[in-house]
């Protein structure tokens, strides 16, 4: 970013100020960090250090080695619409800096105690000023290195209503980590350091190489599995797309690892995300998302940044061209590296023929002609508490006849024929066993001969750390080592045959996503059961099928899998006879 600090800080005239997208900018600690980091970047800093205490509520301090602020500009900076970055309405049409609204410092000073210490490079000493409720409380000169340090204390302590909406310190910290990771990806030439409660939480290399930044943020395994985007020859276009995207074998269960930078501004964009994911179709299974750090560059007058007060959304003058260009570039990169037909995955493990037959059944079922498994629906509505002696939910004694499509157990009972989904039935069995064994580590956990390494993002690591005890209770022993990697020493015993480490990454994702909900352990138990259960397509012996039905029968709710889907369908003798027109 060019140095814009030859300009002094001035309050924008009302006609310009009125054209700036209005709204709240400081919603949570991470919003403060965002504004301060952006100011440091705009000031041409090379080294940006962020210190946080109490998830940012106690203290946020951002220290940079940038251009500094002139002593007699310090008060002006804290006035609304005071900026050194734009002067006129015309400038709004081609914003080149991250900031331009002149609202961050006054908005922060309105909700916290702010201390500013700064020294321009050409000044022999520094200045400091403290602000409370927006007014200066202390002022003076002080020796300090060139650059700026802004400390924000007791954020929102004057707005209890706002405090109420904030999450635990670990969650707020995770938002901050996520933010810093994204700025490290957007500016690989800058060194970002995050210190949490006095301990180093993350640090980027700052060598100007996006791969170094990706390694720091996502770990070496993921970074090595990413492809550089090749922009192609369409030189006529003013839109350029660069960065890195993951190979299809590397994916996530959410979109947290997808970042877009437009002219080096980190933006959220559904349309860009959609274009990116479309390019992966059909290489990723449903519900899987790539890892990506994508840089879009285009002339400054072809984007509008002044759409949202937090500046995290942009509008493109020629949006279709941008989306098409992104999609083409990603597509071209993926096709040159992977042979598509070999990689097309069948997310459903059902054999195609079985799928077809099931569709037919589902259709007829919808019309109520063939399958009327009322007797199975009814117990499904019974509240979850185990009612030991409620026989309406018990299975009758079933005789196994055989297996269909490697997926369904065909059985006969006094009331006709039963088709049991082997995967869902086993899920129900494992789910109840796991719930019983929770907290009994010796029984539910399996030591690994060689520990596995999970490489997480700083955000994931921050959130996961708070859950290590709970996970250990469920048999998953994780130990932090390095910035944000974890060693897996033992796994829940049900996972011995699961696809590791994929299953473990999913469990981590789920733990993090779900951790605010009270019943996250139940849902995690359901996931463990799912990962550990017999898969569809697995051939079973008669004995194995019998054993499965005996175990299913012993559960508290045989007809439903832990996710609430039916484990079986029932075709009564009477229905069969009707079908045959008897």
| 25 touches ligand ADP (CB under 6 A) | no
Binding mask 119-158 for ligand ADP (x = CB under 6 A): -----------------------------x----------
Helices (H), 84-168: 104-110, 160-165
Q: Which of 93, 575, 555, 73 is nearest to 300 (CA)?
A: 93
Partner interacting with residue 276 (select from Mg ion, ligand ADP, none; CB below 5-8 Å by kind) = none
Partner interacting with residue 427 (select from ligand ADP, Mg ion, none; CB below 5-8 Å by kind) = none
User: Within positions 52 to 81, which residues make up the interface with ligand ADP, using CB under 6 A?
Assistant: 64, 66-69, 77
Distance in angstroms (rounded) separating the CA atoms of residues 408 and 545: 10
Partner interacting with residue 83 (select from ligand ADP, Mg ion, none; CB below 5-8 Å by kind) = ligand ADP
Distance in angstroms (rounded) separating the CA atoms of residues 429 and 556: 9
Q: Which is nearer to Mg ion, 305 or 477 (CB)?
A: 305
Q: Give strand pairing partners of 335.
A: none
Partner interacting with residue 43 (select from Mg ion, ligand ADP, none; CB below 5-8 Å by kind) = ligand ADP
Tokens of 329: 């570039």
Distance in angstroms (rounded) separating the CA atoms of residues 477 and 253: 22
| 83 touches Mg ion (CB under 5 A) | no
Q: Is 237 exposed, middle or buried (0-12, 13-18, 19+ CB in 10 A)?
A: middle
Question: Which helix (H) or strand (E) element contains residue 11?
Answer: strand 10-11
Q: What is the dihedral of CA 299, 305, 307, 311, to 10 degrees?
A: 150
| 39 touches Mg ion (CB under 5 A) | yes
| 222 touches ligand ADP (CB under 6 A) | no
Q: Which of 535, 532, 95 is nearest to 299 (CA)?
A: 95
Distance in angstroms (rounded) separating the CA atoms of residues 470 and 475: 9
Tokens of 122: 């050409």
Partner interacting with residue 246 (select from ligand ADP, Mg ion, none; CB below 5-8 Å by kind) = none
Partner interacting with residue 182 (select from Mg ion, ligand ADP, none; CB below 5-8 Å by kind) = none
Minimum gap (Å) between residue 126 Cβ and ligand ADP: 12
Q: Which is nearer to ligand ADP, 77 or 498 (CB)?
A: 77
Position with the least CB separation from Mg ion? 99
| 277 touches ligand ADP (CB under 6 A) | no
Q: Which of 154, 198, 207, 174 is nearest to 49 (CA)?
A: 198
Q: From the centroid of its chain, how far is CA 152?
A: 27
Minimum gap (Å) between residue 188 Cβ and ligand ADP: 20
Distance in angstroms (rounded) separating the CA atoms of residues 186 and 163: 30
| 104 touches ligand ADP (CB under 6 A) | yes
Cβ count within 10 A of residue 304: 16
Partner interacting with residue 33 (select from ligand ADP, Mg ion, none; CB below 5-8 Å by kind) = none
Contact pick of 17, 69, 95, 104 for Mg ion (by CB under 5 A): 104
Partner interacting with residue 101 (select from Mg ion, ligand ADP, none; CB below 5-8 Å by kind) = ligand ADP
Q: At what angle do helices 169-186 and 29-42 cross, to 10 degrees?
A: 20
Minimum gap (Å) between residue 430 Cβ and ligand ADP: 54
Residue 317: phi, psi to the nearest 5?
Answer: -60, -45
| 309 touches Mg ion (CB under 5 A) | no
Q: Which is nearer to ligand ADP, 28 or 85 (CB)?
A: 85
| 31 touches ligand ADP (CB under 6 A) | no
Residues interacting with ligand ADP, by CB under 6 A? 9, 35, 39-40, 43, 64, 66-69, 77, 82-85, 99-105, 148
């Amino acid at each position: 970013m060019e140095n814009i600090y030859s300009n002094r800080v001035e309050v924008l005239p009302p006609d310009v100020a009125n054209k700036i997208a209005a709204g709240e900018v400081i919603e949570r600690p991470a919003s403060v960090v965002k504004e301060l980091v952006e100011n440091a970047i705009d000031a041409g800093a090379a080294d940006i250090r962020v210190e946080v205490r109490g998830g940012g509520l106690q203290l946020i301090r951002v220290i940079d080695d940038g251009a500094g602020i002139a002593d007699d500009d310090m008060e002006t900076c804290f006035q609304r619409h005071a900026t050194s970055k734009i002067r006129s309405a015309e400038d709004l049409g081609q914003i080149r800096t991250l900031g331009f609204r002149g609202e961050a410092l006054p908005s922060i000073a309105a909700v916290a105690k702010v201390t500013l210490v700064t020294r321009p490079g050409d000044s022999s000493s520094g200045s400091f000023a403290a602000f409370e409720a927006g007014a200066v409380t202390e002022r003076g000169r002080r020796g300090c290195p060139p650059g700026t340090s802004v400390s924000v204390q007791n954020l929102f302590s004057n707005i209890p209503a706002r405090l109420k909406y904030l999450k635990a310190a670990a969650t707020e910290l995770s938002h901050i980590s996520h933010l810093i990771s994204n700025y490290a990806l957007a500016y690989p030439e800058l060194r970002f350091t995050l210190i949490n409660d006095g301990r180093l939480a993350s640090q980027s290399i700052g060598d100007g190489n996006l791969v170094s930044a990706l390694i720091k943020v996502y770990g070496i395994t993921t970074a090595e599995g990413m492809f550089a985007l090749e922009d192609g020859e369409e030189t006529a276009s003013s839109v350029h797309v660069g960065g890195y995207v993951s190979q299809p074998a590397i994916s996530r269960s959410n979109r947290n690892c997808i970042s877009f930078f437009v002219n080096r501004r980190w933006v959220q964009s559904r349309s860009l995300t959609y274009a990116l994911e479309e390019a992966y179709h059909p290489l990723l299974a449903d519900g899987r998302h790539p890892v990506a750090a994508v840089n879009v560059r285009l002339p400054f007058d072809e984007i509008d940044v002044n759409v949202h007060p937090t500046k995290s959304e942009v509008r493109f003058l020629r949006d279709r061209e941008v989306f098409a260009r992104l999609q083409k570039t990603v597509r071209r990169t993926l096709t040159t590296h992977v042979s598509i037909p070999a990689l097309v995955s069948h997310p459903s493990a059902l054999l195609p023929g079985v799928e077809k037959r099931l569709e037919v059944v589902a259709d007829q079922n919808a019309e109520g002609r063939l399958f009327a498994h009322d007797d199975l629906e009814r117990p499904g509505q019974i509240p979850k508490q185990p009612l030991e002696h409620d026989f309406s939910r018990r299975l009758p004694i079933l005789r196994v006849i055989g297996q269909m499509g490697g997926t369904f157990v065909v059985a006969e009972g006094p009331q006709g024929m039963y088709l049991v989904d082997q995967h869902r039935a086993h899920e129900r069995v494992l789910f109840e066993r796991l719930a019983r064994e929770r907290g009994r580590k010796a029984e539910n956990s399996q030591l690994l001969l060689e520990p596995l390494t999970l490489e997480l993002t700083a955000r994931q690591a921050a959130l996961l750390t708070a859950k290590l005890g709970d996970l250990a209770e469920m048999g998953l022993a994780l130990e932090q080592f390095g910035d944000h990697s974890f060693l897996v020493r033992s796994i829940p015993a049900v996972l011995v045959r699961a696809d590791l480490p994929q299953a473990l990454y999913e469990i981590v994702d789920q733990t993090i996503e779900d951790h605010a909900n009270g019943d996250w352990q139940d849902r995690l138990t359901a996931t463990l059961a799912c990962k550990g259960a017999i898969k569809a397509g697995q051939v079973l012996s008669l004995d194995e099928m019998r054993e499965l039905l005996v175990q299913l029968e012993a559960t508290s709710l045989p007809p439903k899998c832990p996710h609430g889907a039916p484990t079986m369908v029932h075709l009564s003798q009477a229905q069969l006879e009707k079908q045959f027109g008897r």
